[in-house]
Amino acid sequence: MNVKLELPKTESTPYVLLDSEKCYMTFKGECYSENVIDFFKNITVWLTEFLASNFAELDFDCELDYFNSSSSKMLYNILLALDESASKGKKININWYVDPENDVLIEHGEDFQEELKHANFNIIHKL
């Protein structure tokens, strides 16, 4: 597998860093690509291979300012995969960074949080 997958931030897609050596993932920016399945394809491949590997812990920092409904579905699938891994004993920490005054993103975070049963999902207010 690719040890590291890094995608630059664009106007409609976030900066992405997936690093299997550091057991770390981050999304940062906006996500409303018109070809959402294409955008998430390599991310999904990396994640599937990583979750099948011998790791103990994964940290995922998610700092999205905006995402559309199609991306929401893809994010949900990623979070479910992480939650399933957590159910098998892996330690998964998901940090959902939000502007404390942005009720839209806080609501999305709360809804994701309620869907997950095993992973640690933390809603963190940005200073």
Partner 1 sequence: MAIRETFDILTKPNIKVMLKQEVTANTKASLSTIKKLLYSEELPVTITTAICSVYIELVNNVRMHSAQRKRADAPLGLLLVGRDEDSIYLQSMNIVTNEKVSDIDTKLNRMNSHIKKELRMYYRHRRKFDNPNEESDGAGLGLIEIAKRAKAPVDYEFRASHEGFSLFTMLVVFEIVEEL
Tell me the three state secondary structure of residue 47: helix
- How crowded is the C-beta side of 56, counted as CA atoms within 13 Å? 0
> Please, which residue, 49 or 107, has the CB nearer to partner 1?
107
Distance CA 64, CA 123 (A): 12
Q: How far apart are CA 80 and CA 12, in angstroms?
A: 24
Q: Which is nearer to partner 1, 72 or 95 (CB)?
A: 72
Site string for partner 1, 12-51 (x = CB under 8 A): x-------------------x-x-xx--------------
Residues that bind partner 1 (CB under 8 A): 11-12, 32, 34, 36-37, 65-66, 68-70, 72-74, 76-77, 99, 101-105, 107, 111, 114-115
